[in-house]
Chain A
Amino acid sequence: AQSVTQLGSHVSVSEGALVLLRCNYSSSVPPYLFWYVQYPNQGLQLLLKYTSAATLVKGINGFEAEFKKSETSFHLTKPSAHMSDAAEYFCAVSLNTNAGKSTFGDGTTLTVKP
């Protein structure tokens, strides 16, 4: 079984500030981890994924995430927030044994202040 916990349902940052969105996972076997972004009235889009090749994963729009097995974490960061980053972000986990079925966290809404 697997689960994901996103700490903080709402995060607010100023434009140009560091973005840090937290995700912790629980898995009985080595997981695959994903971050998705959802803009209003749209489906989810993949930001980045961890599949064991490298612990630091770079994604689209300047986002990156680091897999830390010892902390069971996969936090999402971006050095400098842009107004267009305002959206909802979801962390997800899947296992090699369940062929793509993913379990999602409850999401974090990112607000960017001018």
Chain B
Amino acid sequence: NAGVMQNPRHLVRRRGQEARLRCSPMKGHSHVYWYRQLPEEGLKFMVYLQKENIIDESGMPKERFSAEFPKEGPSILRIQQVVRGDSAAYFCASSRGQGGSPLHFGNGTRLTVT
């Protein structure tokens, strides 16, 4: 499957635990974007990364959230000390990074914080 792969599809965490969401971009894509979708809301941009670099993190909460895209392996979105308000669907997308390039989305990780 050459599409964007996200895992896990569903993740349940208790308040205070850590959540790690993984994303492997589409083959040939070196640009990764993370979006969050809350019920009845659209997609909100969180962060844009290239290999080993964070390009734009203007949508990331200032605390508890971090993202990386190492030279080898998937991109990781990490949420420390989760709270109930972090419950949402988190989508990863990838592109070639050129102007006008559409985003290719994974099926998302649905995080539930109990």
Could you list which residues of chain A lie within 8 angstroms of chain B, going by C-beta atoms?
6, 9, 32, 34, 36, 41-46, 49, 51, 90, 92, 94-107
**Tally of A-B Cβ pairs under 8 angstroms:** 76
Chain A residues with CB under 8 A of B43: 44, 90, 104
In the complex, chain B residues 34-75 whose Cβ is within 8 Å of any chain A Cβ? 35, 40-45, 48, 55-56
Contact B99 A101 (CB under 8 A): no
A-B contact pairs, 10 of them (CB 8 A): A41-B108, A43-B91, A43-B108, A46-B103, A49-B100, A97-B99, A99-B55, A99-B97, A99-B99, A100-B33
Whether a CB of chain A sits under 8 angstroms from the CB of B96 is yes
Complex alpha-carbon distance, A92 and B102, angstroms: 10
Contact A100 B4 (CB under 8 A): no
Contact size class for B? Answer: 20 to 34
Chain A residue nearest to B3 (CB atoms) is A43
Chain A residues with CB under 8 A of B40: 9
Contact A90 B31 (CB under 8 A): no
- Which one of B4, B6, B99 lies within 8 Å of A94 (CB-CB)? B99
Q: A43-B4, A43-B105, A98-B56 are in contact. Are A104 and B42 (CB under 8 A)?
A: yes
Chain B residues with CB under 8 A of A104: 35, 42-45
Contact B42 A105 (CB under 8 A): yes
